[in-house]
A = this chain, B = another copy of it.
Amino acid sequence: MTTNLETRAADFRAYVKKMTSYNQALAVLHWDKATQAPRKGMDARSEIIGVLAGEQFKLATSKEMEAFLAELGEPSALEALDEITRHSVLECKKEFDRNKQIPAAKYQEFVVLTSQAETVWEEARANNDFSMFQPYLEKIVNFQLEFIEYWGHDGKNKYNTLLDLYEPGMTVDQLDPIFATLREKTVKLVKAIADSPNKPDTSFLHKNFPIAEQEAFSRYILEKIGYDFKAGRMDRSAHPFCTTFNPGDVRITTRYAENDFNSALFSCIHEAGHAMYEQNINPELLFTPLCDGTSMGIHESQSRFWENMIGRSLPFWNHFFADLQKAFPAQFAGVTAEDLYRAINSVTPSFIRTEADELTYNLHVMIRYEIEKGLINQTIQVADLPQIWNEKMKEYLGIEPPTDTLGVLQDVHWSGGSFGYFPTYSLGNVYAAEFAHVMKSELSGFEDLVANGDFAPIRAWLKENIHQYGKMKSPRELVQAITGEGTNATYLMDYLEKKYTDIYKL
């Protein structure tokens, strides 16, 4: 490497450190706003978030960044750079190119629109009035279409451009057959479950669970599975989330329902799954754009793995059931570990995605996927969404929402302009099952590990194969390296069919 290149690379790293410092600061400001900040300080907080986000955007799209990328992005320069700097350059270039395509005024207009749309959506949902939200959604869809023109597309499907934002490399061509298999088999399985006479008793999950005790038990479980509280915190917020400041400070939040044991604990395990990913990223990636999960789908695979494949498994509760009974003796009197296992895996078609069980969840995602594809390819109209939504609910889940509040208006995503995000939720499930399949073949006695509460080998496997890399590997490279194949829904369906055949004695 020439001295000049070395100097430029060092300057670039310092520049990127500054840029990522803004991201970290913004994450703290957001977290504090969602968990701690008093009401009267909110407006000023939003303003300073706006100021700092603007500065961060300037850094990411500056002439200085352009010069770095032109110089360090040259094939010969890239080749000479160390691996971390090379990947950092490529990641910054991707962001830069994407941001530079859209005229600043156009983007500003979109930011204002989505900010308004989110407020309107909240009102529309509260009033069960889709017509309020419709004009905003139409404008947002039109922005997506314009953005796709700016960003360009592969000529096959315009929706691919949006998918790539959240799951780099993913396309409709790959997703359609995966989701088709998933849908067909899931619909069949849900039907068989509905017809089964062996329904689990879930009544004990809805006894009274004092919040302080739920919180203590959730903390206990998270410590046991290996979320590092010395590198994180658990607080409360309106909606659960995980946020990363740096790998030494990855925080999760949750919310509690006194009459629903299912609600907080599994959401905590879910968020801890996200958090353990970030806590275990190679510390050398700190202050680079690579210090993050590689895609939304891979991130979701970690949360779903811990929530469902570990937290909702029988070996897990064979291990923890005694602790649970100790924490809630009256609530779980006369209940066995297997009763609990069956209850927390009860399958019931329902209207709200975020409250859906492990099996029907994917059907909720598919409805959104199909609608998004249709909107972006202009084969369906925003005005028809309530009807389309309800028809698909009827077709896939066998139930029809009585209101749009319980239907097409339930999710925040579209009001914020997030199209292409929903499929990553199901991709997370698909990936999780693929990873678990390989993990089980590599870790002998996987079920015994869980049954013994010995999660260290499982965490070590995840760190070794997934977590450490951050964004150094693309999701496709990661999946290929672990499984030796591509995205394949067979493992998920095998897992689900086995699990529910057993629970419902099909």
Contact = CB atoms under 8 A, between A and B. Distances in A.
A313 interface: no
A451 interface: no
Given A21-B51, A36-B36, A55-B55, 20 more contacts: A17-B51, A18-B55, A21-B48, A25-B29, A28-B28, A36-B233, A38-B248, A39-B231, A39-B248, A40-B230, A40-B231, A40-B249, A41-B246, A41-B248, A41-B249, A44-B246, A44-B248, A44-B286, A45-B246, A45-B249
8 contacts: A21-B47, A25-B52, A28-B28, A28-B29, A38-B233, A38-B249, A44-B246, A44-B286
Contacts of A39: 230-231, 248
Interface in A19-53: 21-22, 24-25, 28-29, 32, 36-45, 47-48, 51-52
Contacts of A21: 47-48, 51-52
Contacts of A286: 44
A3 to B, nearest CB: 25
A459 B248 CA distance: 43
A420 interface: no
A249 B43 CA distance: 10
A24 B230 CA distance: 26
A249 B249 CA distance: 24
Given A17-B51, A25-B25, A38 B230 contact: yes
A7 to B, nearest CB: 20
Contact of A45 (B43, B47, B245): B245
A232 B38 contact: yes
Contacts of A22: 52
Number of identical monomers bound together in the oligomeric complex = 2
The binding surface of chain A is classed by DSSP as: helix
A28 B38 CA distance: 13
Q: Which 7 A-B pairs have the closest CB atoms?
A: A41-B249, A40-B248, A44-B246, A41-B248, A21-B51, A40-B231, A21-B48
Contacts of A228: 40
A32 B233 CA distance: 12
B51 A249 contact: no
A24 B47 CA distance: 11
Contacts of A44: 24, 245-246, 248-249, 286-287
Nearest to A35: B36
A229 interface: yes
Nearest to A14: B51
Contacts of A38: 229-233, 248-249
A32 B28 contact: yes
Nearest to A51: B21
Contacts of A29: 25, 28
Interface string A378-422: 000000000000000000000000000000000000000000000
Interface in A337-351: none
A249 B231 CA distance: 26
Contacts of A24: 44, 48
A45 B246 CA distance: 8
Contacts of A51: 17-18, 21
A391 B407 CA distance: 79
Nearest to A286: B44
Interface string A6-19: 00000000000110
Contacts of A246: 41, 44-45
A42 B248 contact: yes
Nearest to A246: B44
Contact of A249 (B17, B37, B230, B233): B37
